[in-house]
A and B are shown apart, each in its own frame.
Chain A
Amino acid sequence: MVNIIVLVKQVLHPAELKVDKTSKTMITQGVPLVISETDKNAIEEAVRIKEKHGGKITAITMGSPQAKEALREALAMGSDEAYLLSDPLFEGSDAHAVANVLAAAVTNVLDYDLILCGAYSEDLFAFQVGPRLAEICNLPQITYASKVTIDGTKITVERDLESERQVVEGKLPCLVSVVREINDPRLPTLMAIMAASKKPTRIWTAVELHLGAEELGFNGSLVEVLRNTISVGERKRIMLQGDSKEIAPNLVKSLIQEGALKAS
């Protein structure tokens, strides 16, 4: 039996985000909210481990009440229970403050052998929450997993680094962050989606997590965002259309002028 906590983040669908070039604002309206892709891999891996070893999967997300949707999907994919960590006091949290809230929830769950999460989220790409949570919980971390094998309390993980593949052995309990290469997340069947609505989902606010306002949100953060700038025009976006025989020399000349290609 391996009891697993899987951490899930709901993000704006990264491919559908657009910038309004005239007002220089992000267009978020109508952009669907989805589970960040690597977190889906984490859910899938949890389900596969459960299928092999048995145990219970607890999905946890932190976010607005809308994030319940992400939990429903996690349940439909095969999680057994879910917790939504939601409180206006959580707003404006940095990676440390998020990890702190998650750590409180993990402590509340008590009975777990393994924490699974994506190595990064698809909106911020910060790579921070996993290691920070592991540090707060005093757990070993094994990151960038592309394969996980469990044998009793022994866990063997293939790690996917830039230029090498490592095989690392550790002991449960620990935190493992996964990359997309680890598996192909399943699409839940209609039956599974219906069954998910009967599985327990609870909401924990700061009160249930025994957290004070001073350690939450903006106040509890170690990093402060001073400003956001829409990055418009960072790339030149010169469009070339027409006959290839005309475009090609123009493009090559431009690249030579920019010193990117060498002139003869």
Chain B
Amino acid sequence: MSQDRREIWVFSEVQELAFELLGKARALADQLGTQSVAVSTGSQEDPQAYVQHGADKVFVLNHAALDVFNVDTYTDAFAVLVAEQKPEVFLIGATRNGLEFAPRLSERLKTGCVTEATRLEFDAEKKFLLMDRVTLGGNLVETQICRSTPQMATVPRGIFAPLTADSTREGEIVKVDPKVKPSTTKLLESRPKTARGVKLADAPIIVSFGRGVRKKEDIGMLEQFAQIVGGVIGCSRPIAEDLHWLPEEQYVGLSGQKVSPKVYFAFGISGQIQHLTGIRNSRIIVAVNNDPKAPIFEFSDYGVVADLYQIIPALNDAVKQFGKT
């Protein structure tokens, strides 16, 4: 019975990401003529916010153990709900938590999951969701399908646009009291990495630099450029992890911050695979390097073979002349 409903579900413990997923879920649900459904955890959340962003129905998993993400308790609670409700598609936000949760949940449900999908479209028969993911350092796009339901995927930030919140939208709120076993692990401590509040994940323009910058004092030059273009400063892994010139929450890359700005400036960054993976979802990438063979040029929209110490002052002048922020 419920199998015929073919609902499109979304979940992310980061609400903004859940809204982005709902934007896509709404479109997919409309194609199937079904409902889009959000799952809400955490007692602090307002389930109506999901309705305003496009959910027809919100399941509220009502249990104190779910207030903080934990892969054990979340897998227990979600597996029961999903097995009962049998959604057609389940999209999960590709945060680090989401990326450890989605495979574990899908393994318990014995269904497939495509992680970090960048494109989701139904096939002509509207049976299978065609899911693209980028592999091999951005060189290859694999189009995959799940053979069973729910067809699962994780989706990173910045792939889909959220709908504008509409306070007149109506939806159903369903409270669920899940049975949750105590977790096998205990969270002893949680320290935020960011002390200064510079959130790279949300920045529209990022001015990033790598080993091409010769000394710490030169960061001022980049900060000035960032200020002129209305951007924030980022860096490659060695700048934060080896040289400690910037705090670790400001390095961009697979194990650092994954970013999706309108423009990503890479000054003196050669383009290690981990770095490229972190900037893949940028709209425009501008790379400046004095080595014409630097791998980053292959992954750039604009590649400038130049000395960054010469180009940055020239860019400052040009932005002042032609642009404003």
Question: A residues within 8 Å of B by Cβ?
Answer: 12, 14-15, 17-19, 26, 94-96, 99, 120, 122-132, 134-136, 140-144, 156, 160-171, 174, 177, 179-181, 221-231, 234-241, 244-245, 247-249, 251-256, 258-264
Contact = CB atoms under 8 A, between A and B. Distances in A.
Nearest to B324: A264
A263 B323 CA distance: 4
Interface stretch (B25-33, B37-45, B106-114): B106-114
A162 B143 contact: no
A260 B285 CA distance: 11
Nearest to B140: A228
Interface stretch (B4-12, B94-102, B210-218): B94-102
Contacts of A253: 318, 322
A-side interface mostly: mixed
B188 interface: yes
Interface string B230-270: 00000000000100000001000011011000110000000
B302 interface: yes
B127 to A, nearest CB: 13
A32 to B, nearest CB: 14
Most buried by B among A99, A161, A171: A161
B-side interface mostly: mixed
A261 B315 contact: no
Contacts of B191: 164-166
Contacts of A234: 138
25 contacts: A15-B272, A15-B295, A17-B136, A19-B139, A26-B139, A26-B140, A122-B273, A123-B135, A125-B116, A126-B116, A128-B103, A129-B103, A132-B107, A135-B108, A142-B185, A223-B113, A224-B147, A225-B143, A229-B143, A244-B311, A245-B314, A249-B321, A252-B323, A261-B205, A263-B322
Interface residues of B, number: 94
B142 to A, nearest CB: 5
Given A132-B103, A226-B144, A168 B187 contact: yes
Interface of B: 71-72, 75, 95-97, 99-101, 103-104, 106-108, 110-116, 130, 133-148, 184-194, 201, 205, 229, 241, 249, 254-255, 257-258, 262-263, 272-274, 277, 283-286, 292, 295, 297-307, 310-311, 313-315, 317-319, 321-325
Give 6 nearest A-B pairs by CB, closest first. Answer: A222-B112, A248-B314, A223-B112, A140-B184, A264-B324, A135-B107
A250 to B, nearest CB: 8
A143 B325 CA distance: 41
A130 to B, nearest CB: 8
Nearest to B305: A241
